[in-house]
């Protein structure tokens, strides 16, 4: 099996000295694309993009050498590499949460590029993978040809999904899911829109077809371990891009593409828009009719946008020509959400400040209500288990 060995965190523990990253590569060509999957996902989730970008269904022979930057692939061809992040699939599962951050996982991706002999690559990430991709771009911008962020957020509190009764119910059911069958039902509701799942496919629905695929995948690969789950969750929660890191990405000269499903209940569209604005003028935003796994729900449109990004990078398209983000320099708030001044008068926009504060307050209240609901459900279960059984006295 193809593995890339990555040096550990340097804490001195024997089991932390080396992490194995499982990967697969597809296609041949001078154009290199690194695909970074999201939370709890494995490399095969990128199937529609692998097929769309390379035309290949089977991975490259493991005994064959990688093409490298100047290898024998066709000049117009595309070589793709996708991999399992640490903590999931066939990659190593470190036990300590401190071994899971987007910076550490970005280092895994860079080590994989070195292992393949890739000097530079187009870096595409989904969900948590987009956080890793953006951290990689900020850490080593010289290694990035272009950057695509699918269903992305800025990490931290932005990872909190849209909170309503539906998502609270999903969270409670997720905590109780113990079998591939139970987990598959939840994953479908989280990844796709209901409209997509109810589409008729032959004599069945897409939900029924995908359910069988998900159960098969979870059964063969195994459910994610507790260490991997908690570690990757820690990576999402602790992720952030500083102003300096955003400046490094924005000024690096490569094109950025942000793709998002309008009905994503996990990564909210608002945060993706804000990130795209912060990366102006390098970023282009594409909204699609889909959910969190828009790469699988709308593969043709996603693949077309990714190929457009690759072609625009080849032709050295100007950043301003590439971006479709409105210019907010004319009397509108600029900078981060905390910036309160206008460029044409230094006046404070109290209305925008109030709106942002109320929005965050609502999010915090809903979050704590969700936590309270989960605790209440667990308490009720414990009471039911411990409730004494009445025994009638026989005469």
Q: Note whether residue 186 is domain-resident.
A: no
Contacts of 297 (CB under 8 A, 6+ apart): 191, 192, 193, 196, 261, 290, 291
Q: Note whether residue 191 is domain-resident.
A: no
Predicted local confidence at residue 7, as pLDDT: 86
Predicted local confidence at residue 338, as pLDDT: 41
Predicted local confidence at residue 330, as pLDDT: 44
Predicted local confidence at residue 173, as pLDDT: 85
Return d(Cα 168, Cα 172) in angstroms, integer: 6
Phi/psi for 294 (5° steps) reads -65, -25
Contact 26, 60 (CB under 8 A): yes
Predicted local confidence at residue 331, as pLDDT: 42
**What total of structural domains would you count in the chain?**
1
Q: Note whether residue 336 is domain-resident.
A: no
3-state secondary structure of 337: coil
Return d(Cα 232, Cα 85) in angstroms, integer: 9
Return d(Cα 300, Cα 287) in angstroms, integer: 14
Helices (H), the chain: 47-54, 102-116, 128-139, 165-176, 180-191, 194-197, 206-221, 226-238, 243-251, 269-278, 294-297, 299-314, 319-322, 350-386
pLDDT in tens, the chain (395 residues): 799 999 875 444 544 679 999 999 999 999 999 999 999 999 999 999 999 999 999 999 877 665 666 444 456 799 999 999 999 999 999 999 999 999 999 999 999 999 999 999 999 999 999 999 999 999 999 999 999 999 999 998 898 887 788 888 888 888 788 899 999 999 999 999 999 999 999 999 999 999 999 999 898 878 899 999 999 999 999 999 999 999 999 999 999 999 999 999 999 999 999 999 999 999 999 999 999 999 999 999 999 999 999 999 999 999 999 999 987 654 444 444 444 434 443 444 455 556 556 656 655 665 565 566 557 666 766 776 666 655 555 54
Contacts of 302 (CB under 8 A, 6+ apart): 48, 49, 52, 150, 259, 288, 294, 295
Predicted local confidence at residue 357, as pLDDT: 63
Which domain range does residue 258 map to? 3-9+17-160+228-322
Q: Note whether residue 242 is domain-resident.
A: yes
Q: Note whether residue 150 is domain-resident.
A: yes
Predicted local confidence at residue 33, as pLDDT: 98
Predicted local confidence at residue 299, as pLDDT: 98
- State the angle between helix axes of 165-176 and 350-386 in degrees (0 to 180), rounded to the nearest 10: 40
Return d(Cα 121, Cα 320) in angstroms, integer: 22
Q: Note whether residue 66 is domain-resident.
A: yes
Please write the tens of the pLDDT for every residue from 288-302.
999 999 999 999 999
Q: Note whether residue 342 is domain-resident.
A: no
CATH code, 43: 3.40.50.1820
Q: Note whether residue 102 is domain-resident.
A: yes
């Amino acid at each position: 099996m193809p593995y890339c060995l990555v040096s550990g965190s340097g804490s001195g523990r024997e089991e932390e000295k080396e992490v194995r990253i499982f990967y697969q590569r597809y296609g041949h060509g001078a154009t290199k694309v690194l695909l970074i999957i999201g939370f709890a996902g494995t490399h095969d989730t990128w199937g529609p993009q692998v097929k769309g970008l390379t035309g290949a269904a089977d991975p490259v022979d493991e005994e064959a050498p990688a093409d490298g930057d100047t290898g024998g692939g066709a000049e117009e061809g595309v070589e793709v590499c996708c991999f399992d992040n640490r903590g999931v699939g066939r990659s190593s599962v470190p036990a300590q949460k401190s071994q899971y951050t987007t910076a550490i996982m970005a280092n895994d991706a860079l080590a994989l590029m070195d292992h393949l002999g890739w000097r530079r690559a187009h870096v595409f990430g989904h969900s948590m993978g987009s956080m890793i991709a953006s951290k990689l771009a900020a850490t080593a911008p010289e290694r990035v040809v272009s950057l695509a962020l699918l269903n992305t957020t800025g990490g931290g509190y932005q990872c909190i999904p849209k909170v309503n009764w539906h998502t609270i119910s999903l969270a409670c059911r997720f905590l109780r899911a113990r079998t591939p069958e139970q987990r598959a039902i939840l994953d479908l509701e989280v990844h796709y829109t209901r409209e997509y799942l109810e589409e008729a496919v032959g004599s069945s629905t897409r939900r029924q077809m995908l359910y069988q695929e998900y159960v098969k995948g979870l059964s063969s690969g195994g459910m994610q371990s507790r260490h991997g789950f908690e570690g990757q969750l820690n990576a999402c929660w602790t992720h952030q891009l500083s102003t300096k890191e955003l400046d490094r990405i924005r000024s690096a000269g490569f094109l950025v593409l942000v793709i998002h499903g309008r009905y994503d209940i996990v990564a909210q569209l608002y945060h993706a828009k804000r990130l795209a604005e912060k990366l102006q003028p390098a970023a282009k935003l594409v909204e699609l009719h889909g959910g969190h796994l828009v790469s699988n729900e709308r593969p043709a449109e996603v693949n077309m946008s990714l190929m457009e990004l690759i072609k625009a990078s080849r032709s050295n398209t100007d950043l301003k020509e590439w971006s479709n983000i409105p210019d907010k320099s004319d009397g509108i708030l600029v900078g981060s959400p905390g910036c309160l001044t206008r460029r044409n008068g230094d006046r404070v926009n109290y209305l925008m400040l109030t709106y942002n504060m109320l929005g965050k307050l609502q999010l915090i209240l809903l979050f704590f209500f969700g936590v309270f609901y989960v605790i209440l459900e667990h308490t009720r279960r414990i009471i039911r288990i411990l409730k004494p059984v009445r025994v009638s006295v026989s005469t």
